[in-house]
Structure 1
């Protein structure tokens, strides 16, 4: 854990206890989080935990190949409920590059030769896979009625296949 992770845990602990009427100082919350992480106290935790990166890496954004823009839009926007974050063409008639987003999950979809490989697989964590399944079935999308694999290695998983044969696996991660 990084020092920032420990500080974030202390803020969450204080906020949750405050909701229950328990007042806890920030310093005490840091001490409790340090003990939970296996350190003697906050000073030891701060000295020994992984320093936070100054590089600032963000979450990766997979680039998936698309071969039919209209079918791809119907799948990602209509069926899966993503929204367009941006789209780009160098000029009319040239390949489309499209970013879609939903709840912080971002995917880039590209018609450009060399971007992505049809048939790629993307694993996406989801809080409630059954709620997602109900939502998808309610869209009336006629090309797919996804089920849930309760025995998948990443947790209960709903799998869908886009028009370019890219596989999206929505897996419910344990809390």
Structure 2
């Protein structure tokens, strides 16, 4: 982050400004190296040096929403729960080779969760907080299923707003919260 909590400009924009600065100075009869131009642009942006600006800029450009990784012991047990009961969509599965553990992505509305059979991925009994527009609608949908493994209730006094908490077969907790 730059000064005052603002993000630094992108690395590509900073490089473009450095080239423009060199060109303008050369037209005025002042020659500087490209590295000095990068340092000057970094200073103009409030960064200590080019490396700080480049690190901040790269992180900002590459950043996206966080995706939790939940440890599951068997995808054959986890997927029916996430896809069948909760209504997530299986986006993809990955396996390095036949017989190797599975790593999968499931999503529901704007929520994305990675499920992993790999030892060391995620922690058993993780917690994921998922904002929802209408927690009562989700509650009714889950209770309407004929073969439901759980009958979750709604905690109307939860800190994030009314929350429906569901625990998967491996102890991972999903908190669907209707933000107020």
Superposition TM-score tier, normalisation by shorter sequence: 0.5 to 0.7
TM-score normalised to structure 1 length: 0.67
Matched, 1:68 2:71: no
Structure 2 partner of 1:22: none
Asked whether the 8 Å contact 1:61–1:107 carries over to 2, the reply is: yes
Secondary structure of the structure 2 residue equivalent to 1:107: strand
Asked whether the 8 Å contact 1:64–1:166 carries over to 2, the reply is: yes
Deviations 1:77-107 (A, max 9, x none): 0011011111000111100001001112100
CA shift for structure 1 position 68:
2.2
Alignment of 1:1-175 (within 5 A): 55-174=61-180
Asked whether the 8 Å contact 1:150–1:157 carries over to 2, the reply is: yes
CA shift for structure 1 position 138:
1.6
TM-score normalised to structure 2 length: 0.65
Secondary structure of the structure 2 residue equivalent to 1:108: strand
Structure 1, unpaired ranges of 5+ = 3-52
Aligned length: 125
Structure 2, unpaired ranges of 5+ = 1-5, 7-58
Asked whether the 8 Å contact 1:147–1:159 carries over to 2, the reply is: yes
Runs of 4+ in 1 over 6 A off after TM superposition: none
Secondary structure of the structure 1 residue equivalent to 2:61: coil
**Greater displacement, 123-132 / 135-144:** 135-144
Question: Which has more radius of gyration?
Answer: 2
What is the root-mean-square deviation of aligned Cα atoms in Å?
1.9
